[in-house]
Structure 1
Amino acid sequence: MARRDHDDGADEGELFRAAVGPVRRLPDTPAPPAPPKPAPRARMAERDEANALSEFRQALQGEPLLAGDVLSYRRDPVPLSAWQRLRRGDLAVQDELDLHGATAREAEAMLRDFLHAAHRSGFGCVRIVHGKGRRAAELVDDGGLPVLKNLVDRVLRQRSEVMAFHSAPPAQGGTGAVLVLLAPPKRR
């Protein structure tokens, strides 16, 4: 057998291609899938909610209400005649929320949802029954103050749809309930 000399002028690359024969290019491997994007967050809403919660907690540092105290609040645009009718209990109550037995956290969520739904429904006057805070231990804090009554007072003062509120007359719950005058819903 004759040994082939590498000096015969043939390029090794050409010899290899001749020995292998025709080839086809393999398709490029696809890039690995990108990791999923994180779910969008409502950062502005979270910040607004945190600010509102902070303001709410600061408002709780104010003068607390006692069991027999009257809840009373009126924004400037409310006419005096409407305010007097609300105080007397002359306005027809269109819906009611009873917070008896709820914890402060549950009551706050229920109250916010109730006010939003009542305003969206176009109700003008609603009643919120919070109790007087004299009996149930979970409704009274360590200082003997009614938790739900103070919570309702603070939340109602912060809600833009609340125009005025006043403790109900004795026949409608007295200082254990509050009548709330809501702003008409905005037209779109």
Structure 2
Amino acid sequence: MTRKPRHLSPEERALWDRVAERTTPLHPTRPELPEALDPSARPKTPPKPPLKRFKVGQAVTATTPPHDLSPSIEDDVAKSPVAMDKKRFGKMKKGKLTPEARIDLHGLTLAQAHPALVRFVLESVADGRRLVLVITGKGKARESTGPIPERLGVLRHQVPHWLNLPPLSSHVLQITESHLKHGGRGAYYVYLRRAR
């Protein structure tokens, strides 16, 4: 609860002026405060426009944009350019290529999943694998109690970022959502570069 500012009465103002006349300023070269401290001298804020009439049962038109300003992870991964052979990419998206290895990150925390993913990808590169499957799960729907919206599936959103950061980014050629038979939205195909 905010308090309204208390203004000096005429008697209090006269008393203050008498006290101020008898004092010597600490910094005589500093300019004095303007008289704008007086509440009557302050600029007035423009009045707010009146609210439109509203009837009970009337349809409301949404005037605010949606709160989710960043693109979904599906859009972000889907919009990434194809860096591998387009024919092979098409087969991979249709689920016709079989992953050579897989890692399941279900039930792991972010702190546990990140080192496990790094170890898995680096071992896959060392073993000469090209296509691996990273299973993240779709995430559990839970009730949001706060004002900030929470994304569904923390690992599903974090894994593409980890794969695009060092030390994995130099080994990863392509990331895309897996086909339904390999997990659909709950898993990613990770196509690795050839070991040099």
The aligned residue for residue 160 of structure 2 is 153
Change (3 A) 1:161 1:73: farther
Query: Does residue 128 of structure 1 match 2:134?
Result: yes
The aligned residue for residue 89 of structure 1 is 95
Equivalent pairs, count: 121
1:32-76: CA deviation from partner (whole Å, max 9, x where unpaired): xxxxxxxxxxxxxxxxxxxxxxxxxxxxxx93636x768447566
For the 8 Å contact 2:131–2:191, the answer to whether it is kept is yes
The answer to which of 99-108 and 128-137 deviates more is: 128-137
The aligned residue for residue 143 of structure 1 is 150
1:102-144: CA deviation from partner (whole Å, max 9, x where unpaired): 001111111111100001100010001000012489xxx9614
The aligned residue for residue 184 of structure 2 is 174
AA matched with 1:176: G
Distance (Å, rounded) in 2 between the aligned partners of 1:150 and 1:108: 12
For the 8 Å contact 1:166–1:179, the answer to whether it is kept is yes
For the 8 Å contact 2:93–2:179, the answer to whether it is kept is yes
Higher helix content, 1 or 2: 1
The aligned residue for residue 79 of structure 1 is 85
- Larger Rg computed on CA atoms: 1
For the 8 Å contact 1:95–1:125, the answer to whether it is kept is yes
The correspondence of residues 49-64 of structure 1 with structure 2, limited to 5 A, is 63=70
Q: Secondary structure at the match of 1:128?
A: strand
AA matched with 2:101: D
The answer to which of 115-124 and 151-160 deviates more is: 151-160
Distance (Å, rounded) in 1 between the aligned partners of 2:117 and 2:79: 17
Distance (Å, rounded) in 2 between the aligned partners of 1:100 and 1:147: 11
AA matched with 2:185: T
Segments of structure 1 that go 5 or more residues without pairing to the other structure are 1-61
Give the superposition deviation at 1:184. Answer: 1.0
For the 8 Å contact 1:162–1:180, the answer to whether it is kept is yes
The aligned residue for residue 121 of structure 2 is 115
TM-score by length of 1: 0.56
AA matched with 1:98: D
Distance (Å, rounded) in 1 between the aligned partners of 2:127 and 2:83: 21
Segments of structure 2 that go 5 or more residues without pairing to the other structure are 1-68
The aligned residue for residue 183 of structure 1 is 193
Distance (Å, rounded) in 1 between the aligned partners of 2:129 and 2:71: 29
For the 8 Å contact 1:94–1:123, the answer to whether it is kept is yes
Q: How high is the sequence identity, in percent, across the aligned residues?
A: 25
Change (3 A) 1:70 1:178: farther
For the 8 Å contact 1:71–1:165, the answer to whether it is kept is yes
